[in-house]
Amino acid sequence: MLHGELELSLMDLETSKAVTPKPAVTPAPAFPRAESNLTESAAASARRTRIKSEEAGVALNLGELWQYRELLYFLTLRDIKVRYKQTLMGVAWVIIQPLLTVLIFTLVFNRFVRLDTGSLPYPLFALSGLLLWLFFANAVTNSTNSLLSNANLITKVYFPRLFIPAASVAAGLVDLGVAFLLLIALCIYYGVALTLNLLLVPLFILLMALLALGVGLLSAALTVKYRDLRHALPFIIQLWMFASPVIYPASVVPEKWKWLLLINPVAGIIEGFRASLTGRSFDWLHLSVSAAITVTLLIFSVYVFRRFEDTFADVI
């Protein structure tokens, strides 16, 4: 009897297990996956590059220049190293070149022609003009040929091409700083009195650097399309030197030709640089015109360079 009741209880228990439904398994919410998709979508949108047609105008992209600012330092350092690599006298050429040039001009214009440079000795007069002029001429020449000499770099990787000519100008500033020691020594030798005008020397160096950058950017962009400019540039630089008061005072220019000096930014900058060294009064009208022409030329050159920049890799 007890055995029969036990069997009936076991049968009822098995029946209840078979009838009782199993709890449904609910899938895990897909929130982590959705959040991952949103993160990837946001990252992709942040990496998007907006491409504008040429009809939208030329974009200067000043923010891009700031983002790649360290590249300018490394390109400048590379240009300096390449310039003096495997040279016998190295950076001494920066001093030897203007020194020998001053000696030749002193012999011709001080002994034979006898130019009147006022209270300023002719060697100091010539050196003060030649330092800025040699910096300008070398910076323009090197920046003009910089894009063609870096063709492999331009066609392989993207970066602001404007930094290539700018690095040539910046490397020239290092040479100017070294050669400036010779000018200081000559000022001490001739006993030039120190005045507050010396505080404006960096301003004139900056103006000459901006002028060299403006001319260099324009000539570099045009040289990529018109290679003839490379052959005409030395002749243009030579003419520009004789049209500027580098080795002669502005006072020897006839009055009817003075307007040529007024529209020549190199003339105003060099005359202002000399006045800052000797303590003479400045010609503020000439300086203002030179500064205005320099800034206008730089803005125009940046525009033209940016306008042609997209085609450099195709035609270089």
pTM: 0.79
Residue 119 CA, distance from chain mean position? 38
Cβ–Cβ < 8 Å for 207, 268? no
- Cα 15 to Cα 18, 102, 108, 183: the distances in Å are 5, 118, 126, 112
So what's the pLDDT on residue 137?
Answer: 95
Eight-class DSSP state of 26: P
Cα dihedral: 50, 55, 60, 61 (round 10): 0
Angle between the 93-106 and 163-189 helix axes, to the nearest 10 degrees? 60
So what's the pLDDT on residue 231?
Answer: 87
Q: In whole angstroms, what is the distance from residue 147 CA to residue 152 CA? A: 10
Q: Residue type at 131?
A: L
How high is the mean pLDDT in each 10-residue block of the chain (316 residues)? 43 46 47 44 46 55 82 90 74 84 88 79 91 95 91 86 93 91 90 86 95 95 88 92 92 89 94 89 92 96 90 80
Q: In whole angstroms, what is the distance from residue 185 CA to residue 43 CA? A: 59
Cβ–Cβ < 8 Å for 131, 176? yes
So what's the pLDDT on residue 9?
Answer: 46
So what's the pLDDT on residue 310?
Answer: 82
